Amino acid sequence: MLEDKVKIVKKIKGVISAGGTGSRMSSLTNVTNKHLLAVYNEPMIYKVIKTLTNSWIRDIIIVLGGESVGDFIRLLGNGKEFGANFSFIY
């Protein structure tokens, strides 16, 4: 039973939409993307990634846009730190 669930989850990919401009938070997002802003002690996107990996979702596609693409790639890398595999789409 558990093995069947693990097989199904291995096929599921997570998608994180992080390509917005954050215009409604413009005083905070003039310099960086809102998903890179700290919530408590870590960037907001970490919370989403941890939720996916805690649900056994390891293949994660991160949709990016705007000028912060390089910041995301430098921060997140290939996903190894999170036990995941990241793909970036611009």
Percentage of residues in the chain having pLDDT higher than 90:
46
Domain span at 34: 2-89
Least Cα distance to 76 among 53, 51, 43 occurs for 43
Q: Which of 75, 90, 71 is nearest to 32 (CA)?
A: 71
Q: Which residues pair with 15 in a beta bridge?
A: 61
pLDDT score for 3: 65
Residue 79 pLDDT > 90, yes or no?
yes
Nearest to 21 by CA among 54, 52, 67, 83: 67
**CATH code at position 40:** 3.90.550.10
Determine the 3-state secondary structure of 19 from DSSP. coil
Given this model, what pLDDT does residue 8 score? 62
Here the tokens at position 38 are: 């700290």
pLDDT in tens, 26-70: 666 556 667 777 889 999 899 999 999 999 999 999 999 878 888
Average pLDDT, the chain: 82
This prediction has a pTM of: 0.80
- pLDDT at site 1: 62
How many domains are there within the chain? 1
Site of tokens 């730190």: 81
Q: Report residue 8 as tokens.
A: 């199904």
